[in-house]
Structure 1
Amino acid sequence: MSIIKIREQAVKKLMVPIVGVLLVAFLVSVFVGFGSSRMHEREQAEKQPELYVAFKLDGKPVSTEEYFRQLEQTRERLREQRQPYGATQMAELKAQLIPSLVMRELVLREAERSDIKVSRRELNEEFEKLVNAQLDQYRELFFGKDAAKKTDRDLDRELKQRVQKSLRDVRREIESGIDRDALRAELMVRKFQQSVQSKVQLSDSALRDLYRTVTVRHILISSSKRPEASARKRAEEVLAKAKAGEDFAKLAREFSDDPATAAAGGLLPPIQGSQTPAGGFGAPSKEVREAALRLKKPGDISEVIQTPQGFEILKMESSKLDLPPDFDKKKEDYRKEQQKRLADETWGQVLERLRKDAKIEFVNPEFEAYWWLAQSYNPEMDARKALEKAAAAFDRHIKANPDSSVADTSYVQLARILHMQGKTKEAAALLEKGLERFEDGYVRLDLARMYDSLGQKQKALEHYRMASEVTADWMVHMQLQQVFESRFPDKALAEKSKQIVQREMERQRAMQPAPAAEEKQGGGEAPGGKKGGR
């Protein structure tokens, strides 16, 4: 019996508000699974790659088993909570799950290469923490705010009374459901992250520099306009002129390939030492930012810097130190704050390096599609090209699974990409085809909006009405209520959607815990523990 089902039985007997179960259910550990080892996964992957392999890293297969395990876990949670889990919900889940699993594997491989070890003692300690954390969930469910005061004997008695199981039985069930191999992998990743972040230390001078703001001019010699060797040579020649004393602003106007700054003599916006680079259009690259902050005084000129755009040269115009008023008094607090920020930034850079350097060979087109979909949101990537790759992979996944429901989410995602690319007719046709295979209220909404944007009002109305008929999802009906009140007025359908939304709001209010009794100002409570008044 799963922990969720045991909770469900307890709730039925105790009439505990459902919200408590929903919150606790989301805390079920990701380590509860089939207990299969990574070695077993790789053996299966090698035997039947078309069924078991998601992708290969450096030629070594990575199994789909962890993916399917987590996917089924989530479906089970949604079923237990009576939440919708159609094609749209699964598409959004996969969009988060698949890239995270790929990155997890990349980090795990790097941890192994870095000789990160997890001792038996560490594994056992974490195992016990995990078991006790799940037992604590029972305590909170049964005893509420008094949970911390209750002993194992109290919990054993309640379990026997409410779910007819002893504490020992429940503990064994929890222990048997925890995958030690997955737990070991998680600990390796955690230790590797800690080893990376612990190396970030700030001296007093480095800490002060973080509160420095510098203004620099730059000259960009683009490597997209000429061969890289020619670009580097040209940059070295311009650097020699700058170091010989020629006017830097004039050199920028004459030689810089940056149209946004050349006319202004290469002047860049101020760069702050404590500001994490956000990237994006117009922002200085990480390389430029770091080189600018290495310059110490006005007039200093950098060496040639290689950046994603080509080769750049910097000259400092000004430097301003702006320390907080209480810096000396709270220096250690500021150091701790900045070290954490830099440690997080350093870890992010490690992840980005692993992503860039990864030699991933996708075997499963669905994994490839969701990986490239995630990369389209990465500011370091060309979003258009990433979406094109994602679309091609989603299309292959659909064609490879013509009679299987596993491709339902690919219809949803591919249609969204086509719509973003301005191919709304193709997107609508694809969703029509998908809806021959599955039903989904959100997809009906998307299709209706597409037809509306194409000027096909009758088809749009048809799918809005169909969405109202096929789904009880209150979030869909919240949107339908607006549609039937304004865009396509229909009092009956608007009222239907309104009633569904209102029932859900009432249900959610009923699940909220009752507010604690407040003391009456100046007079305490009325007899019976209730406040005075009407």
Structure 2
Amino acid sequence: MIRIKKLIAVGALSIFAFSAVGCEMIQRTPESIKKTVLAKVGDLKVTRGEVDEIADPYLSRYGEDYETNPDLAEQVKELRTQALNLLVEQKMMLKKAEELGLEPTQEEIDAGVTEYIEGLKEQLGGEEAFTKALEDIDLTLEEYTAKLNESIKVNLSTNKVTEEIFKDINTTDDELKTYYDEHLDSFREANVSHILIKDEAKAKEIRERAVNGEDFAALAKEFSEDPGTKENGGSLGVTTYDTTKYVTEFTEGFKKLKEGEISDLVKSTHGYHIIKVTDYKEKSFDESKETIKSTLENEEKNEIYTTTIEQWKKDLKVKTYEKRL
């Protein structure tokens, strides 16, 4: 998925208070501080109160003294900065939705609110549990619905605007095939096992026994000097051929093997490896096509999104005042 910055919600009912929607759902700070302007996006503003709506539920996990604890200063600043940046992006989406004629209709917003509330009731266990949850955060259904209206408007506007900026993205079959050919190792995998022995002469002896038909897993359990795989018969599990988990000599060693083959001794900084490959599989281009398409399109989306956001900041003359955080 596109890497639009998000903060993970905690608590289903309060999700929109935590997910950067700018709702006034929790009053935690004096009014004067809440109204402090932390950013300007055209004629829209981001206030300290909006930032706190997002950041405070996370910051409270650090304890009641997080504001005055010098050891937490960096974490507090980072969380508030993330919330500020997220809100700036949301304000830009609202402005662009207006400019591009993509603002959601009230009917769309109402449908989104209804869908969300019904899903929330199901998640919480029914109407009674939902009502109790509202009471716990001291909101009436009308007040909560009003907050959700703003949240849904932001979400729908963001979806419509991002769809617009991504509308021309298209990958051809030639591009997909080129990617497949250039990244073939990522579509190849096998169950890789090895026996590690530091002494070369002993390693040669054990390899000969394996090649002559002795059970590879039994030999690994008895002789391997790799404590991480010894008891598992030397198995490293299913391994893709583009792995970077192992030393180069080892990876190159198993990539040369065919199904069921046992390698010559492969020397690395760890000693001598005797490697066996089983259950080799290779996904065809047709099997991989959709995955490749998604990968390439998401890469392009991320690039377009980042470039577009930076340009919009200039167009809308965005100003942020992080020192006020």
> TM-score, structure 1 length as denominator?
0.31
> TM-score, structure 2 length as denominator?
0.48
Higher relative contact order (CA 8 A, sep 6+): 2
Q: Which has more radius of gyration?
A: 1
Which structure shows the bigger proportion of residues in helix conformation? 1
